[in-house]
Amino acid sequence: MHQRSGYDGHTHTSFSDGRNTVVENVRAAEAVGLECVAITDHFFEPGEWFDRMLAGINVARQRCDVHVLAGAEVVIMNTEGEVSIGPEEAHKLEIVLADIGGRTLGIATDAPSTKARLLDNVTTCMVNACQNPLVHVIAHPFNLGRFPLPVYITDIPKTSLRSIAQAFVDTDTAFELMNQMHWWFPDVPVERFTRDYAELVGLFAAEGVKFVLGSDAHSAGAVGNLRWAVNLVQLAEIPPPQIVNLGKLHSESGGRR
Ligand SMILES: [Zn+2]
C-alpha cells in the first residue's frame, strides 16, 4: 500500500444532509489516498442519531485503513458564542467545528439594520466562539454573503480582523480553509473572491493563526477535494507549521484543552 497523506477535516454523511453513509465517505477517503478523514455532521440538537453516528464511525474504523475522526459541525447560536452542542456530547468527539449559520442570533436572524452594527456582532460572535472551550475549529470563517444583510470579505475592517485573529491565537482555535467557500458569495467571480479571501487569510496567517483544510463534502465523491484550499495555502503564503496535521491529532489522545 502507498503511504497515505493528507486529510479532509470536514465531511457530511446521511446523519445530516450528506448523501452517503459514514462507511462510504471513509472508503472514498481511503480510495483517494488520505491518511485521515473527519466525519462532521451538523449537530443542531442531541438525539439517538448521535450514538448511531458514533457506532457508524467505529464500523468504518474497522473496515478501512484511514484514521477517522469523530466530529460535528455545530452552530454558533448567538454573539455570546454559545453553540448547539453541550459538553456531554462534545466530549465524545475529537473535532468540533463551529460556524455562523442560518440560526445565529444577531447575524442571520434578528440582525441589526446597519452593516457597521452587524460587523460589530460578527466580531463579538467570532471572538466569543473562539473562547468557547467546546470549539476546536471555526468552519468557513466570514461566510457572510448569503444572510439577510450580506457582508463581503473586503467590508470587514482590518482592526476587527486583527482582534478576531488574536482570539484564534490566544485560544488555539483553528481557522478552516473550506474548499467550497465561494458558494457563500454567489455574485462574486471566483477569481476575485479567491484573491480577496487569500488576502484576508494572509492577515490571519501573519498573526500566527493555525489552519485546518476541509472539503465540506456532502457526498462521498467530494471527499478529499481540496484543490482550492491547497491553492489558497499558497496564495496566502501560510507557513507549513501553521497547518494543523489532523492525522497526528488522532494518534495523540485527548483534545487540546
Ligand atoms: Zn459543513
CA of residue 1 to ligand 1 center, whole Å: 30
N-terminal to C-terminal alpha carbon distance within the chain:
35
H/E stretch holding 165 reads helix 158-171
Architecture of domain 7-251: Alpha-Beta Barrel (3.20)
CA of residue 73 to ligand 1 center, whole Å: 6
Domain boundaries, the chain: 7-251
CA of residue 72 to ligand 1 center, whole Å: 9
Per DSSP, the three-state class of 72 is: strand
Nearest to 36 by CA among 230, 189, 186, 215: 215
Residue 92: all three cell numbers together: 465524545
Half-sphere exposure of 197 (CA within 13 A, CB side): 31
Structural contact between residues 213 and 221, judged by C-beta atoms closer than 8 angstroms? no
pTM, 2 dp: 0.95
Give the tens place of pLDDT for each residue, 26-46: 999 999 999 999 999 999 999
pLDDT (tens digit, 0 to 9) for every residue of the chain, 257 residues total?
Answer: 567 899 999 999 999 999 999 999 999 999 999 999 999 999 999 999 999 999 999 999 999 999 999 999 999 999 999 999 999 999 999 999 999 999 999 999 999 999 999 999 999 999 999 999 999 999 999 999 999 999 999 999 999 999 999 999 999 999 999 999 999 999 999 999 999 999 999 999 999 999 999 999 999 999 999 999 999 999 999 999 999 999 886 555 444 44
